[in-house]
């Protein structure tokens, strides 16, 4: 009897404590498929912790501007923010994010893929937990490749093979472009692709002394190769094509190959949206002959806690929930294994159920082949594969990518664009005190 | 002969006006049509115009995912509140400039308008910090104040233009009949300038309803209006054009309906004094 009463009292006390500490978290996020799924499953978090969640979903660029304003002014409008691999180390170094160095044992922080943990840390401290990670890879039409009498090599193909295959698959009369790549201006759009590609040509943004390197042969070769290949086999108007435009073309059967984010794999193999869902193959991103670097990037959408929040404990509970192994199981239960957030945890790729997903292994191999700490052939002073994790990069790279897009649109030559890129990067870096 | 030429010219003008009208309306029409398509049909090439399987699925998804009512109410409160507050401040200001102008009235008017030329992002941080200090970040009252301040120059200018069309003698007569300043503005000036005030109110409602910089940057979960509702359906990694179109249609529908029913008033006000 005594025990029964004690248990009742303990239960009541737990409920009261939960009620007293129940918080409403405001979480800023992007409108990507995985994030939308998370919003739909939030009841599970509320049930487990008693905390409520209010979502602020914004377009990626709007979100970036919005959360940057809030975190730099310590506005406290958000308790958890969806941020990328670019912002995390910079914000962590500035003390704007709560360090995630006391996550629970059950969370198993060592299970996070090393490439992701490395890219989301500063000085060895994790500042944001990866919700999903991505690299880039080749998605190609197996039927068109066969018709062209070619076979995608095992491992990473060479850029020469890709150019040859693209030309062979191109059929202008049937409106089929051999290859679709991003040409749209923006550091996260066309800028990301050409930077990752330049790594595989032996180019780099800066040397060890932060001197811009656009006046090197490697950059000239990268940009010339890209422009010639796209003019031969790319879609009309590729200078303005980003992820969505190329996804649309690929899903309608108008691309032979598409090199882009690994998350696109679930879209192009979904028969509800894609007309070519049953004839898509995957391969590692290409490299140049004689160079041991593939042209793929590394990115993560991660959850970070701004230092200005008044609800740190509840925010940590949310971050643990959303990036946990249990959450992956929850998504698999509700939406199937093909829809679980990929690229964040090692254990996911050891799971037998996930091994049946056709693009799972290629996604992992792509992520593992990208090294944000050694992204280029020659040494560089920065971290990041398709970006340099310094605050000035986003502005500079957007300007540079605009110059490159002007080349794709036929408005200037490769030499002119590289000359302008070198000049504007030098000016910006000098002004920033490098 | 002359009548035939006039009729022909009238027909050409009418056709031209319809063509221009349709051209301007086309993006809205396309958005509405896309909102009834599936995501696959929305990106079809060549584009499908009317002959597709119409679906309400996108509206269902949007209603399920978002609290449309909350966004709508925030838009009504912010656009309505800022316009009302703006008119209350602008009517006396425009009255004094129109009927008792000083030496610097023209300069003040031009200076007021010049504040519209400042890029909004240039003052984002000062205003954001001010909002934090005042504790009005992510609040409707904060946005009402900001949008009122942004639109105030336009409201004053429009009302000033309308008031200038009203003969000063009428107000003088009212004064001679013993009307005070309050009576003069409320009972004499306002009824005479009602078409102008109505079109000013409508135009500013539309401007405040569509304002997307401040409403996105100064809100989070509480005070976000329909502009944030639309932004939540835009995605750089995923084709959700049909859902985005459904959200856009739901966001513009109230102001489109208001504009449709008040178009006579709006045109009358905007052309007030233009033709003599």
pLDDT in tens, A364-403: 999 999 988 899 999 999 999 999 999 999 999 999 999 9
Å between A434 CA and nearest CA of chain B: 26
Closest CA to A188 of A241, A242, A148: A242
Nearest CA in chain A to B218: A66
Residue B17: strand, helix, or coil: helix
Strands A298-304 and A177-180: unpaired
Cα–Cα distances in angstroms (integers) from residue B15 to residues B2, B3, B20, in the given order:
20, 18, 9
Whether chain B has a CB inside 8 Å of the CB on A78: the answer is yes
Res A268 pLDDT > 50? yes
Q: Which residues sit opposite A57 in a β-bridge?
A: A29
Characterize the bridge pairing of strands A125-126 and A255-261: unpaired
CB contact set of A253 (below 8 Å; sequence gap of 6+): A141, A176, A275, A276
Residue A11 confidence (pLDDT)? 53
Q: Is residue B123 part of a domain?
A: yes
Q: How many domains does chain B have?
A: 1
Secondary structure element (H or E) that encloses residue A239, with its range: none
Asked if the model's pLDDT at residue A115 lies above 70, the reply is yes
B-proximal residues of A, 408-427, CB under 8 Å: none
Cβ-Cβ pairs closer than 8 A, A with B, add up to 95
Q: Do B238 and A244 touch (CB under 8 A)?
A: yes
CA pair distance B114, B100, nearest whole angstrom: 22
Residue predicted with more confidence, B215 or B117:
B215
Q: Residue B204 maps to which CATH number?
A: 1.10.3720.10
Best residue in A76, A248, A276, A277 to probe B by mutation, most B CBs within 10 Å?
A: A248
From start to end of chain B, where are the E strands? none
Neighbours of B105 (CB within 10 A): 14
Whether residue B138 is contained in a domain is answered as: yes
Q: Is B49 on the interface with A (CB under 8 A)?
A: no
> What confidence score (pLDDT) does residue A401 get?
96
Residue B248 lies in a domain: no
Q: Which residue of B has its CA nearest to A262?
A: B237
Give the C-alpha separation, A186 to A206, whole Å.
19
Chain B residues in contact with A74 (beta carbon < 8 A): 132
Is residue B114 assigned to a domain? yes
In chain A, positions 90-119, which contact chain B (CB-CB < 8 Å)? none
Kind plus residue range of the DSSP H or E element containing A6: helix A2-21
Decide if B114 touches A, using CB distance below 8 A.
Answer: no
For residue A1, give every residue at least 6 positions away whose Cβ sits within 8 Å of its Cβ, in sequence order, or none. Answer: none
Convert the pLDDT of each residue in B149-195 to its tens digit.
Answer: 999 999 999 999 888 888 888 888 888 888 888 888 888 888 888 88
Determine whether the interchain pair B239/A267 forms a contact, defined as Cβ–Cβ distance below 8 Å.
yes
Smallest Cα distance from A80 to chain B, Å: 12
Contact status, residue B68 vs residue B250, Cβ threshold 8 Å = yes
Domain assignment present for residue B163? The answer is yes
Q: Does B138 touch chain A (CB under 8 A)?
A: yes
CB–CB of A145/A132 below 8 Å? no
Structural domains of chain A in order of their starting residue, each with its CATH number: 2-134+299-355 (3.40.190.10), 135-297+377-431 (3.40.190.10)
Q: What is the pLDDT of residue A19?
A: 47
CA atoms within 13 A on the CB side of A279: 17
In angstroms, the CA A308 to CA A95 distance is: 10
Q: Is the complex ipTM higher than 0.90?
A: no
User: Does residue A15 surpass a pLDDT of 70?
Assistant: no
* Main-chain dihedrals φ then ψ at residue A59, nearest 5 degrees: -65, 150
Distance of CA B14 to the CA centre of its chain: 27
Mean pLDDT across A335-341: 89
Q: Buried b vs exposed e over A273-307: b needs ≥16 C-beta within 10 Å? A: bbebeebbbbbbbbbbeebebbbbbbbbbbbbbbb
Please list, in sequence order, all residues whose beta carbon lies within 8 angstroms of the beta carbon of residue B105, skipping any fewer than 6 positions away.
B97
The CA angle A143-A145-A147, to the nearest 5 degrees, is 70
The Cα of A302 is separated from the nearest Cα of chain B by a number of Å equal to 16
Look at A244 and B239 and tell me if their CB atoms are within 8 Å.
yes
Contact between chains at B238 and A267 (C-beta distance less than 8 A): yes
* Confidence (pLDDT) at B75: 97
Interface of A with B in 218-247 (CB under 8 A): 242-244, 247
Under DSSP, the state recorded for B184 is: I
pLDDT, mean of residues A29-49: 92
Per-residue pLDDT at A99: 97
Residues 6+ apart with CB under 8 A from B76: B254
Residue A260, pLDDT above cutoff 90: yes
pLDDT at A427 over 80: yes
Within a domain: B155: yes
Nearest by Cα to A39 from B66, B39, B70, B227: B66
Per-residue burial over A61-92, b = 16 or more CB atoms within 10 Å of its CB, e = otherwise: ebbbbbbbbbbebebbbbbbbbbbbbbbbbbb
**CA neighbor of A426 nearest in space, from A217, A198, A208, A211:** A211
Q: Is B58 a member of any domain? A: no
Using one digit for the tens of pLDDT, what is the confidence trace for B213-257?
A: 999 999 999 999 999 999 999 887 777 899 999 999 999 999 989
User: What pLDDT, on a 0 to 100 scale, did the predictor assign at position A18?
Assistant: 47
Q: How far apart are the first and last CA of chain B?
A: 29
Residue B45: inside a domain, yes or no? Answer: no
State the pTM of this model. 0.84
Q: Which residues of A touch B137 (CB under 8 A)?
A: 75, 77
Partner A, chain B 199-218, Cβ-Cβ below 8 Å: 216-217
Domain that holds residue B83: 67-232
Backbone region of residue A150 per phi and psi (left: phi > 0; alpha: psi in -120 to 50; beta: other values): beta
């Amino acid at each position: 009897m005594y025990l029964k009463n004690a248990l009742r009292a303990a239960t009541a006390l737990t409920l009261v404590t939960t009620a007293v500490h129940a918080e409403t978290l405001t979480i800023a996020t992007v409108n990507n498929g995985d994030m939308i799924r998370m919003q739909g499953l939030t009841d599970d978090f509320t049930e487990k912790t008693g905390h409520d969640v209010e979502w602020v979903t914004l377009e990626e660029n709007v979100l970036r501007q919005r959360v940057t304003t809030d975190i730099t002014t310590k506005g406290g409008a958000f308790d958890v923010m969806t941020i990328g691999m670019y912002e995390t180390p910079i914000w962590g170094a500035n003390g704007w994010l709560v360090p995630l160095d006391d996550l629970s044992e059950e969370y198993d922080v060592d299970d996070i893929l090393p490439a992701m943990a490395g890219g989301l840390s500063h000085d060895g401290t994790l500042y944001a937990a990866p919700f999903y990670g991505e690299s880039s890879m080749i998605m190609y039409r197996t039927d068109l490749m066969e018709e062209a009498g070619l076979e995608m090599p095992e491992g990473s193909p060479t850029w020469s093979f890709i150019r040859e295959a693209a030309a062979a698959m191109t059929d202008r009369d049937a409106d089929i472009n051999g290859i679709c790549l991003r040409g749209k201006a923006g550091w996260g759009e066309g800028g990301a692709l050409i930077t990752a590609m330049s790594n595989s040509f032996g180019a780099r943004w800066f040397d060890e002394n932060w001197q811009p390197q656009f006046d090197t042969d490697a950059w000239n070769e990268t940009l010339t190769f890209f422009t010639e290949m796209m003019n031969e086999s790319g879609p009309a108007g590729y200078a303005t094509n980003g992820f969505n435009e190329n996804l649309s073309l690929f899903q309608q059967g108008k691309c032979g190959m598409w090199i882009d984010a690994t998350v696109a794999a679930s879209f192009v193999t979904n028969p509800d949206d894609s007309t070519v869902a049953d004839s898509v193959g995957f391969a590692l991103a290409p490299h140049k002959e004689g160079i041991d670097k593939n042209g793929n990037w590394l990115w993560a959408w991660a959850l970070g806690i701004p230092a200005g929040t008044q609800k740190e404990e509840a925010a940590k509970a949310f971050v643990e929930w959303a990036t946990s192994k249990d959450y992956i199981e929850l998504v698999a239960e509700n939406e199937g294994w093909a829809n679980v957030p990929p690229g964040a945890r090692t254990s996911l790729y050891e799971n037998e159920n996930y091994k049946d997903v056709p693009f799972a292994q290629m996604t992992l191999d792509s992520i593992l082949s990208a090294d944000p700490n050694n992204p280029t052939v020659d040494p560089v002073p920065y971290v990041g594969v398709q970006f340099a994790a310094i605050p000035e990069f986003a502005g500079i790279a957007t300007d540079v990518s605009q110059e490159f897009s002007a080349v794709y649109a036929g408005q200037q030559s490769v030499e002119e664009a590289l000359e302008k890129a070198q000049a504007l990067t030098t000016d910006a870096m000098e002004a920033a005190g490098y | 002969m002359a009548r035939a030429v006039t009729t022909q010219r009238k027909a050409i003008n009418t056709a031209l006006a319809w063509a221009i009208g349709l051209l301007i309306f086309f993006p809205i029409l396309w958005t509405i049509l896309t909102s009834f398509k599936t995501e696959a049909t929305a990106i079809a090439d060549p584009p499908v115009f009317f002959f597709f399987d119409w679906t309400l699925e996108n509206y269902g998804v949007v209603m399920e995912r978002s609290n449309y009512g909350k966004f709508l109410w925030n838009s009504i409160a912010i656009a309505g509140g800022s316009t009302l507050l703006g008119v209350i401040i602008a009517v006396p200001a425009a009255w004094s400039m129109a009927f008792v102008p000083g030496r610097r009235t023209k300069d003040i008017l031009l200076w007021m308008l010049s504040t519209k030329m400042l890029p909004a992002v240039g003052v984002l941080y000062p205003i954001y910090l001010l909002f934090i200090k005042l504790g009005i970040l992510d609040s409707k009252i904060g946005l009402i104040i900001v949008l009122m301040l942004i639109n105030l120059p336009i409201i004053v200018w429009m009302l000033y233009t309308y008031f200038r069309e009203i003969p000063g003698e009428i107000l003088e007569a009212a004064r001679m009949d013993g009307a005070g300043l309050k009576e003069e503005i409320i009972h004499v000036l306002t009824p005479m300038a009602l078409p102008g005030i109505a079109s000013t109110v409508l135009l500013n409602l539309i401007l405040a309803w569509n304002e997307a910089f401040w409403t996105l940057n100064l809100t989070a979960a509480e005070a976000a209006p329909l502009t944030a509702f639309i932004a939540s359906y835009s995605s750089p990694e995923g084709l959700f054009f049909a859902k985005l179109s459904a959200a856009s249609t739901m966001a513009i529908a109230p102001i489109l309906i208001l504009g449709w029913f008040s178009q006579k008033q709006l045109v009358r006000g905007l052309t007030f004094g233009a033709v003599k």
